[in-house]
């Protein structure tokens, strides 16, 4: 079709976490206005018409909100553009005749379910360990009556923008989840409603993170560079301070 581009896709296929996977080639003629996921939809439509198994990948909102659509495209989580999720990437960002490598997020804590879909329930388990406020904070009028500075509320809002996609884990050479955990800790630690449980929260979330097999942070900044919401690594520094303070208080109480 006129105006379309031709690309060679090398897409990872893998039956499950316990089987060996490999790349399969797909030659595609696609509109540059198609999103990356729409292109995969078209490929799957053709495969299903032929009676073949479609490529398994995950998506939901397709608006960069839900964080389910993570793919590694040409070695970069979510693709070559900064501060977008895979669903917001369009084919006009690739050249005619280009070869595009498509893989799932790679991490011990993200086992492959099939093809490009991975199990990211490890992030949910970290949230379940402490990413919430369980104390009675009152109703809306009560919350509105609590004075919070503009700087703190803005920082908390920026941290809360994390969509839990796992790109930080996929981009890190150690598969660390520190940026994710630090964002979830920060959004509550910065606000007075989160203060009563701050010590318990940070210790519980870090403990679960370590138990699930995520690696340590070595400050390469890759997580911040690949985060679709631009979460800052200053949150990791805050997490470290919160954790140190919590451990110190625990030691004093035990003593």
Alpha-carbon span 5 to 33, nearest angstrom? 10
Domain boundary, last residue among 114, 133, 153:
114
- On whether both 145 and 25 belong to a single domain, the answer is no
Supply the DSSP symbol for 35. Answer: B
**For residue range 149-171, what is the model confidence (pLDDT) as tens digits?**
999 999 999 999 999 999 999 99
End residue of a domain, out of 99, 114, 129 = 114
What integer is the mean pLDDT of 94-100? 97
Q: Considering the entire predicted model, what is its pTM?
A: 0.92
pLDDT computed for residue 249 by the predictor: 81
Considering the domain architecture, whether residues 70 and 179 belong to the same structural domain is answered as: no
Q: Could you tell me if 147 and 205 lie in one domain?
A: yes
Please tell me the distance from the alpha carbon of residue 80 to that of residue 233, in angstroms, as a whole number.
20
What tokens were used for 198?
A: 């701050």
How high is the mean pLDDT of the chain? 94
Distance between CA 77 and CA 226 in Å, rounded?
Answer: 6
| Sole residue written with tokens 């809002």 | 157
Query: 96 and 125 share a domain?
Result: no
Helix (H, G, I), strand (E, B) or coil at 217: coil
pLDDT, tens digit (0-9, with 9 covering 90-100), for 41-75: 999 999 999 999 999 999 999 999 999 999 999 99
Q: What domain range is 158 assigned to?
A: 120-254
Across the range 84-97, mean pLDDT stands at 97
What phi, psi does 53 have (nearest 5°)? -70, 135
Domain final residue pick, 114, 137, 156:
114
Helices (H) and strands (E) in the chain, counts: 9, 7
Which whole number is the average pLDDT over 185-214?
95
The residue-averaged pLDDT of 182-204 equals 95
Contact call for residues 35 and 25 (beta carbons, < 8 A): no
Q: Give the pLDDT confidence of 112-153 residue by residue, as tens digits.
A: 999 999 999 999 999 999 999 987 777 877 777 888 999 999
Q: Are residues 85 and 100 in the same domain?
A: yes
d(CA 105, CA 120): 10
Dihedrals phi, psi of 157, to nearest 5 degrees: -65, -40
Entry field: residues in the chain: 255
Q: Give the CATH number of the domain where residue 165 resides.
A: 1.10.1060.10
Assess whether pLDDT exceeds 50 at residue 189: yes
Check residue 115 and give its pLDDT. Answer: 98
Do residues 137 and 245 share a domain? yes
Q: Which of 92-96, 133-137, 166-170, 232-236 has the lowest mean pLDDT?
A: 133-137
Per-residue confidence (pLDDT) for residue 136, from 0 to 100: 79
Q: How confident is the model at residue 16 (pLDDT cuts 50, 70, 90)?
A: very high
């Amino acid at each position: 079709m006129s105006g379309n581009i031709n690309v060679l896709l090398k897409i990872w296929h893998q039956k499950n976490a316990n089987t060996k996977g490999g790349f399969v080639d797909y030659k595609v003629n696609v509109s540059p206005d198609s999103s990356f996921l729409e292109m995969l939809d078209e490929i799957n439509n053709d495969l299903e018409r032929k009676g073949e198994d479609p490529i398994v990948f995950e998506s939901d909102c397709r608006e960069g909100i839900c964080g389910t659509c993570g793919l590694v495209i040409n070695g970069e989580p979510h693709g070559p553009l900064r501060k977008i999720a895979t669903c917001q990437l369009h084919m006009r960002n690739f050249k005619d005749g280009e070869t595009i490598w498509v893989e799932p997020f790679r991490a011990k804590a993200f086992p492959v379910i099939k093809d490009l879909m991975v199990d990211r329930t490890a992030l949910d388990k970290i949230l379940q360990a402490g990413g919430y406020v369980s104390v009675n904070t009152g109703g809306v009028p009560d919350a509105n009556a609590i004075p919070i500075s503009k700087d703190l509320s803005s920082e908390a809002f920026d941290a809360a923008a994390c969509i839990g996609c796992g790109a930080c884990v996929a981009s890190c050479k150690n598969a660390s989840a520190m940026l994710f955990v630090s964002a979830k800790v920060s959004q509550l630690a910065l606000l007075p409603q989160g203060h009563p449980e701050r010590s318990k929260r940070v210790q519980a979330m870090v403990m679960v993170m370590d138990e699930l097999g995520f690696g340590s942070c070595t400050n390469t900044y890759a997580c911040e560079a690949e985060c679709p919401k631009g979460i800052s690594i200053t949150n990791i520094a805050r997490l470290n301070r919160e954790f140190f303070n919590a451990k110190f208080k625990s030691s004093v109480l035990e003593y």
